[in-house]
Amino acid sequence: MSTNVNLFSPVKLGSLELPNRIVMAPLTRNRAAAGNVPTEMNATYYTQRASAGLIISEATQVSPQGQGYPNTPGIHSQEQVAGWRLVTDAVHAHGGRIFLQLWHVGRISHPSLQPGGELPVAPSAIAPEGDASTLEGPKPYVTPRALETAEIPGIVEDYRKGAENALAAGFDGVEIHSANGYLLDQFLQNGTNKRTDEYGGSIENRARLLMEVTEAVVGVWGGERVGVRLSPSGTFNSMSDSNPGALFSYVAAALNRFNLAYLHLVDPRTDNHNTVENHTQGFPVGYFRPIFNGTLITAGGYDLELGNAVLASGDADLVAYGRLYIANPDLPERFAANAALNKPDRDTFYGGDEKGYIDYPSLELQTA
Ligand code: FNR
């Protein structure tokens, strides 16, 4: 089904009116202050990007146990709520809208980042390949501890509290991070979930935690202010499933009952966070159109032309941009003017100071 819609067509997202369909993708930048508290510098960064139809915040841990990288912000303490308030107030003052991405990393962590130096938790005791990012640099991932069935209500409660804190911090909604190999994705996929209780085995069982978390978060916000992110084609963080088509079709269909603001899908064209490899295999956003009854956001390797094309095809309703948003705070204005784009500097993606964070020039500055 082709449409006349393009990136500049206004759209309703749940109960929000967005002036365009350009979304700032969630982007971890590791620049929170001590206590994993957002700062004025973080507020400046998001405010520079307030002309996006919607900003989705960097992934934000719902509990100390949910942290997997240094200096990522949290949403579990009052100081963090106050820090995020700086961000939401500034974004709103500049006419923008911002959702918080709720995160628990599961096994993608390291004892040095965990409360009491404990093992990270996961559905099953299976270590990912590669190195964790720690305060002392890369260290091999450890084998995580499998969560006891009795601990799972506590995890759901952490998400619920995170959602409540996001409301108190002035966000416009929340996105549940169930993508890219973090805790909820670890439960979904059977390469990482070998459980024999009601959270493992069948697809329905593996999807149970995501459904319980979604129900809890929707209980706080209402479905129209909640999105869910999935990466059905991703292998990042050592992920695999024996039948991802069946799994993610089930999940997308099961989410229909919540009347969510949107489902956000990471496109197969990006194999992981940092490369675009034009994969033809996997599950592009259009695969989910007949399955999910609501708004679809797609992300991964889009530019102006590809973004307009996926909207015109009718496969997606909005397009999220990651790396282009790191380097181009005024991405909608640049797209509208068909202007040249700044190139993102990979060395300053994760951690550091203002450099590579709030010093990418706007078009206005460049042409002044
Ligand atoms: C990411 N990505 C990401 N995804 C997510 O769901 N939560 C996050 O916090 C992050 N963090 C993050 C940091 C950095 C530096 C990069 C480059 C990526 C993935 C991101 O949202 C997006 O899906 C990918 O970047 C692909 O889109 P682009 O960059 O090709 O437009």
Q: pLDDT band at residue 1, thresholds of 50, 70 and 90? A: low
Q: What is the structure's pLDDT at 134?
A: 97
- The protein residue with its alpha carbon nearest to ligand 1, atom 18, reads 273
Is the per-residue pLDDT at 316 higher than 70?
yes
Ranges of each domain in the chain: 11-302
Is the per-residue pLDDT at 365 higher than 90?
no
Active site residue 159: no
Is the per-residue pLDDT at 277 higher than 50?
no
Summary mean pLDDT of the chain: 95
Q: Which of 182, 287, 325, 360 is catalytic?
A: 182
Assess if CATH 3.30.470.10 describes domain 11-302. Answer: no
Nearest one of 71, 20, 73 to 49, comparing CA atoms: 20
Nearest one of 225, 307, 226 to 5, comparing CA atoms: 307
Q: What is the structure's pLDDT at 281?
A: 65
CB 100 within 8 A of CB 60: yes
Instruction: Give the mutation target among 297, 323, 341 for probing the ligand 1 site: most ligand atoms within 8 A of CB.
Output: 323
Query: What's the average model confidence in pLDDT over 110-139?
Result: 98
Is the per-residue pLDDT at 274 higher than 50?
no
Is the per-residue pLDDT at 240 higher than 90?
yes
CA-CA distances (angstroms) from residue 69 to 29, 107, 126?
10, 12, 19
CB 90 within 8 A of CB 358: no
Q: Give the Cα separation of 315 and 338 in Å (integer).
A: 23
Instruction: Give the mutation target among 22, 28, 57, 102 for probing the ligand 1 site: most ligand atoms within 8 A of CB.
Output: 28
pLDDT (tens digit, 9 = 90+) per residue, 159-203? 999 999 999 999 999 999 999 999 999 999 999 999 999 999 999
Query: Ligand 1 — pocket residues by CB below 6 A?
Result: 25-28, 58-59, 101, 177, 179-180, 229, 266, 270, 273-274, 276, 299-302, 321-324, 349
